[in-house]
Structure 1
Amino acid sequence: MSNTRPSLTLTLLQAREAAMAFFRPLLNQHGLTEQQWRIVRILRQQGELESHQLARQACILKPSMTGVLGRLERDGLVRRWKSPQDQRRVYVNLTEKGQQCFVSMSDGMESNYQKIQAQFGEEKLQQLLGLLNELKQVKP
């Protein structure tokens, strides 16, 4: 059997699952999927975005994005509208209910980050985030 390199992509997925174990219970309490929470969080941080920009930032494929946004809109958390100048451009922003959703989850999310930091260490967590941000800049 040959010596194979450890799988970067598998290790990243496993680390993501370990981190998400802290956050899923809170998402479930609020009736949100991981994708929905990513959208709420990004819109809270960035403000209004075109749907394709939002899809890219949230790492959601465009076909899936339509369904996720539809459910968020149905639940009153986001609002979508087409540009009057170009009907192909769809914009999305948080509604007041969406803003309230983010605020109501913030303390719980911060508590989960604190739990991770307590186990992993603040310095290592900052180093990891820095390395992951550098990895995002690597181009094929």
Structure 2
Amino acid sequence: MSRPTPSLTLALMQARESAMDFFRPHLNRHNITEQQWRVIRILWQSEDQTLESHRLAKLACILPPSLTGVLVRLEQNGLVERWKPETDQRRLCVTLTDEGNALFGKMQEEMVSQYKKIQQALGPEKYQTLMSLLEELQQLNPDDLPSVSDA
């Protein structure tokens, strides 16, 4: 019996955990969870710092039911505001507050410093290659690819 090929998904999850080791201490120091930081960062990066909740969930890789709890805690801490547009009460929009912006600003320098450590360890060329490959992988759609037989 042949050995199975290495698991891409497991390797990605293990690499994520290794990468997060650079950031977790900083998140903990500010009493922010990984999910909360992803939401804050994505809102900060969005054009007007407002996103519809379903889009935010997709970008943050958080299931919509789980995002609800994350947003409740962020709102209780004054970091985001949730609201429904008057034109469509079915939609839920999320906006980064001034406090959320201030927290991002306070944390941004230390987070950038951690990215620089990773870049330095890998080297700029490998880091850029890694980011390019990850972006390419994100763009793949299994429905658009031909079937591969077990020849």
TM-score surpassing 0.5? yes
Q: Counterparts of 1:47-126 in structure 2 under 5 Å?
A: 47-126=49-128
Does 95-104 or 117-126 show the bigger shift?
Answer: 117-126
TM-score in terms of structure 1 length: 0.98
**Partner letter of residue 132 of structure 2?**
G
CA distance in 1, matches of 2:3, 2:92: 49
RMSD (Å), alpha carbons:
0.7
Runs of 4 or more off by more than 2 Å in structure 1? none
* Alignment match, 1:128: 130
Residue 101 of structure 1: SS of its match in structure 2?
A: helix
Higher relative contact order (CA 8 A, sep 6+): 1
1: CA distance, partners of 2:25 / 2:69: 23
Q: Which amino acid aligns with 1:89?
A: R
Q: How many residues align?
A: 140
Structure 2 equivalent of residue 5 of structure 1: 5
Find the residue that maps to 1:88 and give its secondary structure. Answer: coil
Shift of 1:117: 1.1
Larger displacement relative to structure 2 (113-122 or 95-104): 113-122
Q: Find the counterpart in structure 2 of residue 45 from structure 1.
A: 45
Displacement after TM superposition at 1:2 (Å): 2.0
Please give the alpha-carbon distance, in whole angstroms, between the structure 1 residues aligned to 2:52 and 2:116: 32
Q: Letter of the 1:103 partner, please give it.
A: G
**TM-score (norm: length of structure 2):** 0.91
**Unaligned 5+ residue runs, structure 2?**
143-151
